[in-house]
Structure 1
C-alpha cells in the first residue's frame, strides 16, 4: 500500500475532514498528478468559501475546467456500480444507483470513494425496494434522493422506518407520490432524527398536510426546505413560515407556476410583517409567486429595518411582475443590511439601465434577467 492509498482510505473513513483531502492533493502533486491535485484543492476551497460569492464561483470555475476533460478517468473506480456520479470536495460524493443492483454493489462502491449522497433509480417497475433499504452501507449516506421515483405506500414506510438511515440529513422526494398522512407522521414523529433538509417540490397535494404537521414538528430543525409548486392557501403558507422548526432555515424554495392561472400563496400577503424567517436565511426562491412591486418593497423594508445585516445571498424574484418601483427598492436598499451574490430577475422585463443599476448596487452578484 502506498502513502496515497493510505490517504484515500483515511478520506473514505473520515469524509468530513478537508485537511486529509488537501494532504492527498499535496501527495498527488509530488507524484505527477498536478491536475487532479489542483481539482481537489479548487473544489475544497469552493466548498469552504462564502456560498455563491466571488471566491466560490472562481474556485468552482477552476474545478469545472479541470474536471471536464478528465471526468471519465477520475470516475473510473465507480463505473461498474453507478449510473452517474458527481464530484464534491474533490472526490465522488454523489452517485445515482440502480435500486436492484445497489445491495450487491454497495460494499465495493463505499470502499472506493467517500460517497455520502445517493439518488435512487428504478430501471424496472418490478424491482423491489426491500433489499435496498436493508443494505447496511446506507449508514454512510447523509443525502438520499428519490426524485421522480414511483413508490408504493408500503415502500414509503420502508424508507421512513429504515434503521440504517438514522444519520440522514437530507431527503429528496421531489415529484414522488408521498401519502400526506405518512409524511405527517414522519414530521411529527421521531424517525430520521437528523433530518434537516427536505425537498417536496411538485408534490402538489401536500399543502394542508404540511401546514398542520410542520407547525407541530417543534423537535425538528430544518435548514433546507423546498416546497416549490405545492398548492397552499395564504393561511397555510403563513402557518408554515411561522413554525418553530423553520426559525433558522437557511435555504427556502417557495416557487410557484405563473402559467397555472392561480395566484401564488404569497401574492397578497404583506411580507414586511415578519412572515419570512430571515434569521439565517441565505437562499430565498419566490419564483412565480407574483409578489410584484409591493412584495419586493416589503421585503426590502423588512431587511432594512433589521438590526443586523441579513445573511441573504441568493434571491429569486423571477416571474414576479416586478417593475420600476420594485427594482428601485432593490437599488436603494441599505448596503449595510443586504449584500446579494445571486439575484434572479428573469421574466420581469428588466431594461438595460435597470440591470446595470442592479449590478452597480450588487457588484459581487450574478444578475440573471
Structure 2
C-alpha cells in the first residue's frame, strides 16, 4: 500500500474526523494535485464555519469553482456505479443508487469513498425487479448516517425492514418526502425504540400525516429531533401547535413548515408565532407560503428581542407570506442582537429600496426579494 492509499484508508476508517482529510490534502499539494488538495481544505473549512455565514458561503463558492473545473476527473470512478453524488468535506459522502443494483455496487463505492448518506432510487420500469433486501442486508449500512427514500415511488415494502434493520444503529437522518408513509407504522415507529440515534426527519408533502404527528410527537419523549421538515402537510392550527409543543421538538435547530398559499392561509397564520416555535436553539425557520403577514413578522421579531441571550436564528424563510412595508420596517428595527445570514422574502412584492434597507440592517445576509 503506497502513501496515497494509506491516507485514503485513514479517511475511510475515520469518516467523522478532519485530520485524515487534511493530511490527504497536504499529500495532494505536495504530489502534483494542488487543486484537489485545496478543494478538500475549502470544504473542511466551510464545514467548520458558522452555518449559512459569509465564510461558509465563500468556502462553498470557491470549492464549487474547483469542482466544476475537475468534475470529470474527480468523479470518473463513480459513473458506472452511482446515479448521483455530493462532496462533503472534500470527499463523496452522499450517493444516489439504483435499488436494483445496490447489492452489486455498494461494496466498491464504500471502499472508494467515505459514503455516509445514501438515496435509494427505484425506477418505474424496474420496480417489480428491485426489492430492497440487498440494501437492508448490506454490511456497509453500519457506516450510513442518512437514508433518503424520497425517490422510491409508491411502494411500502421497506418500512418494516427499515425499522428492524440492525445495521442502522448510527442512522441520524431519514427522508420520506412525498412517500406513502403508513400512518400506523409511523405512529408505532415514533413511539418505539427503532433507530435510537435519529435526529432529522423529512416528512414533507405527505398529506395524511397531520393527525398522527399531532398525536404521536407529544408521546415521543425519548426522541430528540434537531431537524424537521413538515412542509405541505395540511395541519389544522391546533394540530401544528400540539406537534411543535412536543418535548422531542424542544431542541430543534432547523424547522421547515412550508405551505401552498393557493389552498388558503396556512395554519400558522392563526397562531401567535412568538409562542408557537421552540426558539431555544432554532437557527433555521422556513415559513414559505404560510401567509403570516406583517403581524406574524412582528410576533417573530418581538420574541427574538425578548430572548435573554443572542438568538441563534440565522436563516429565515418568509417567501410568499403577503408581507408589506410594515414587515420590512419591523425587520429593519429588530433588536440589534438579531443577526441573519439568509432572508428569503421572494414573491412578497417588495421594492429594491426595501431590499436595500434590509441589506443595510443585515449586511452579512443573502437577501432574496
TM-score higher than 0.5: yes
Alignment partner of 1:164 out of 159, 162, 167: 167
The alignment yields a C-alpha RMSD, in angstroms, of 1.0
CA offsets 1:11-56 (integer angstroms, 9 cap, x no match): 0010011111111111100000000001001111111101110100
The residue aligned with 1:320 is 321
Q: Distance in 2 between matches of 1:268 and 1:205?
A: 21
> What is the CA distance between 1:173 and its match in structure 2?
0.3
Q: Distance in 2 between matches of 1:71 and 1:322?
A: 41
Q: Distance in 2 between matches of 1:72 and 1:164?
A: 33
The residue aligned with 2:16 is 16
The residue aligned with 2:69 is 69
> What is the CA distance between 1:75 and its match in structure 2?
1.4
The residue aligned with 1:95 is 95
The residue aligned with 2:178 is 175
> What is the CA distance between 1:69 and its match in structure 2?
1.8
Query: Is the 1:226–1:252 contact (alpha carbons within 8 Å) kept by the matching residues of 2?
Result: yes
Which secondary structure state, in structure 2, belongs to the residue aligned with residue 120 of structure 1?
A: strand
The residue aligned with 2:267 is 265
Matched, 1:216 2:219: yes
Q: Distance in 2 between matches of 1:23 and 1:154?
A: 43
Q: Distance in 2 between matches of 1:159 and 1:169?
A: 13
CA offsets 1:291-326 (integer angstroms, 9 cap, x no match): 000100000001101101110000001000111111
Query: Is the 1:46–1:57 contact (alpha carbons within 8 Å) kept by the matching residues of 2?
Result: yes
Which secondary structure state, in structure 2, belongs to the residue aligned with residue 205 of structure 1?
A: coil
> What is the CA distance between 1:281 and its match in structure 2?
0.6
Q: Distance in 1 between matches of 2:217 and 2:30?
A: 52
Which secondary structure state, in structure 2, belongs to the residue aligned with residue 321 of structure 1?
A: coil
Q: Distance in 1 between matches of 2:282 and 2:293?
A: 21
Structure 1 residue runs of 5 or longer lacking an equivalent are none
The residue aligned with 2:256 is 253
Q: Distance in 2 between matches of 1:104 and 1:148?
A: 19
> What is the CA distance between 1:81 and its match in structure 2?
1.5
The residue aligned with 1:202 is 205
The residue aligned with 2:277 is 276
Instruction: Identify which range, 144-153 or 104-113, moves more after superposition.
Output: 144-153
Matches within 5 A, 1:330-341: 330-336=331-337, 338-341=338-341
Query: Is the 1:170–1:198 contact (alpha carbons within 8 Å) kept by the matching residues of 2?
Result: yes
The residue aligned with 1:297 is 298
Query: Is the 1:100–1:132 contact (alpha carbons within 8 Å) kept by the matching residues of 2?
Result: no
TM-score normalised over the length of structure 2: 0.97
The residue aligned with 2:29 is 29
> What is the CA distance between 1:351 and its match in structure 2?
1.1
Q: Distance in 1 between matches of 2:166 and 2:91?
A: 27
Query: Is the 1:166–1:192 contact (alpha carbons within 8 Å) kept by the matching residues of 2?
Result: yes
Q: Distance in 2 between matches of 1:249 and 1:310?
A: 14
Matches within 5 A, 1:142-161: 142-161=145-164
> What is the CA distance between 1:284 and its match in structure 2?
0.2
The residue aligned with 2:127 is 125
Query: Is the 1:78–1:112 contact (alpha carbons within 8 Å) kept by the matching residues of 2?
Result: no
Matched, 1:311 2:312: yes
> What is the CA distance between 1:5 and its match in structure 2?
1.0
Query: Is the 1:200–1:226 contact (alpha carbons within 8 Å) kept by the matching residues of 2?
Result: yes
> What is the CA distance between 1:155 and its match in structure 2?
2.2
Q: Distance in 2 between matches of 1:154 and 1:108?
A: 26
Q: Distance in 1 between matches of 2:208 and 2:339?
A: 35
TM-score normalised over the length of structure 1: 0.97
- Give 4+ residue runs of structure 1 displaced > 4 Å after superposition: none
Counting matched residue pairs gives 366
CA offsets 1:103-129 (integer angstroms, 9 cap, x no match): 122111111000000000112111111
The residue aligned with 2:55 is 55
Query: Is the 2:122–2:151 contact (alpha carbons within 8 Å) kept by the matching residues of 1?
Result: no
Structure 2 residue runs of 5 or longer lacking an equivalent are none
> What is the CA distance between 1:151 and its match in structure 2?
4.6
